[in-house]
Amino acid sequence: MKYAAAIMFSFLVLVSCSQGDSAVSGTVEGGLRVLGVDNGKDKLEYTIYRGDYIVFDFASAGTRDFNVPGLEINTVMPKSADETPYIKMKQSGDYEFTLGGRSGTFHVLELVDPSYTEVSAGEASDLIKNVNPLIVDVRTEAEYNSGHIPGAGLLPVQVFADNLGKLEQYKDKDILLYCASGNRSTVAARILIDAGFTRVYNLRHGFGDWARSGNPVE
């Protein structure tokens, strides 16, 4: 039975990957990946996932200039109260950065798991036609209402981890996840895999690519 009814939630917290992954830096608190900076080392080095929402844990007050030239990030941390508090890692690869007077490197990883497959818009269309997966939109309610893949249910990434029980019957069935560009759906995919789901598909370039490719939209 397709999970067709949209589940409407207000914004609560941002969800990131599992706290139990020892290969990844920092800790997950309130859905944000918190990276420590007071480790006594001259150069900072972090391993994180593409799609993670990151903030820094500063022991002292004040802002620090934060620059990641390879990702065109030029801001200050912590951000002001009227801005989103986090930085989202949208691309995998190794990126040099500076934070205040210190330098460092981000190692941004792609999710790789036997239970996980990334698909193009064309592959997703074939999957829907031939396999009839559960389709889950992990964007916001406003984004969903502005247009979505036919038959998709809404479960925003902000509350995804708290509502896995709604997907329990699909633990060993095909699930296709998507967001706007493929980042939030990667976060949701990691949550499913960590919870033991075995057949997870991610629309790699998101709903934007789906619509641009001429696929149907509701």
The catalytic residues are 179
Contact 78, 37 (CB under 8 A): no
For tokens 């859905």, the residue is: 31
**E strands in the chain:** 27-29, 32-36, 43-49, 53-57, 64-68, 73-77, 87-88, 93-99, 102-109, 116-119, 134-137, 153-154, 175-178, 200-203
- Residues 106 and 46: their CA atoms lie apart, in Å, by 5
Per the CB < 8 A criterion, the answer to whether 151 and 2 are in contact is yes
Beta pairing partners, 96: 105
Contact 20, 168 (CB under 8 A): no
Other residues' Cβ atoms within 10 Å of the Cβ of residue 194: 16
What is the rounded distance in angstroms from the CA atom of residue 133 to the CA atom of residue 130? 9
Q: Are the C-beta atoms of residues 163 and 12 closer than 8 Å to each other? A: no
